[in-house]
Amino acid sequence: MHETAQLLHLAAQRIEQGLPCALCAVVRASGSVPRHAGSKLLVSAEGEILAGTIGGGEMESRVIAEAQQALRDGAPRLVSYRLTDPSSGDPGVCGGQAEIFIDPLLPPPALFIIGAGHVGRALAHLARWAGFYVIVADDRPDWCSPQAIPEANEHLCGSLTDQIEQIAQRIARAPQSYVALVTRSSPIDVAILPTLLRAAPAYIGVIGSRRRWLTTAQALRQAGVAEADLARVHSPIGLEIEAETPEEIAVSIMAQIVHVRRSGSTSQSQA
């Protein structure tokens, strides 16, 4: 298989597995450079070279660092380097110039729905329609199943406290992870929220009234959760649209998630 075809095939495989990567391609080169236009490099979010090369050395090292940043912020970029005078900051002495386009290849955003009740089911349906990869977790087998929620991509059925570390690890590896806690009680939220907050998802919302959140937040403070972490929680969850039915509440939650995703908003908890 041609080198470029192999690289693109590997990139597609990673995206299907939910693993981000960045494609770095030399788009313009002049003079003496390590690799010329068309050379490609595939980089993981951890900075690992997955395939290809644009010449190695300091220039490639800088491109890898730019690729990691592109994967963090989701923005493609064009970087230029002169390879003339290292004393002035150039990454080499070959004598040429190179421009490299860095394209972050991100899997679909993932929505972790913790709680498979009426709101969880409605939210899974709407999130899948909106293009999210949907993971539903609950401890009730009859509620958390392909038959009950066919729109979910994955069903994690079992004790939430037993599963939460594994869920958090997945969230931490994927910068486009969003979490909606639509559980049936505050004690469940108190038990799992500290672990979820440490995973630093792009969004975390907790269902319930203002009174329920005040109770939950106080219990979390007593458990040692910092105020800065509590301020990242959206609760009551969703935009205020006077929603009542599970479907209307799902609309308000997805509207808030889309707003956070597109604007980068980090509005504080309403506690």
Q: Under a CB-based contact definition with an 8 Å cutoff, are residues 160 and 185 in contact?
A: no
Give per-residue pLDDT as tens, 117-150: 999 999 999 999 999 999 999 999 999 999 999 9
What is the rounded distance in angstroms from the CA atom of residue 44 to the CA atom of residue 71?
Answer: 9
The pTM is what? 0.79
pLDDT tier, 105 (very low <50, low <70, confident <90, very high otherwise): very high
For the record, the structure tokens of 110 come out as 């993932």
Per-residue pLDDT tens over the stretch 144-162 = 999 999 999 999 999 999 9
Total domains present in the chain: 2
What is the average pLDDT across 9-29? Answer: 90
Q: Distance of CA 130 to CAs 118, 125, 162, 215, Å?
A: 19, 9, 30, 33
Residue 174 and residue 40 share a domain: no
Q: 143: which DSSP letter? A: T
Region label for 75, one of left (φ > 0), alpha (ψ between -120 and 50) or beta (otherwise): beta
Query: What gap in Å lies between CA 70 and CA 263, rounded to an integer?
Result: 17
Kindly state whether residues 40 and 148 are assigned to the same domain. Answer: no
269 in a domain, yes or no?
Answer: no
Residues 139 and 119 in one domain: yes
Whether residues 19 and 62 share a domain: the answer is yes
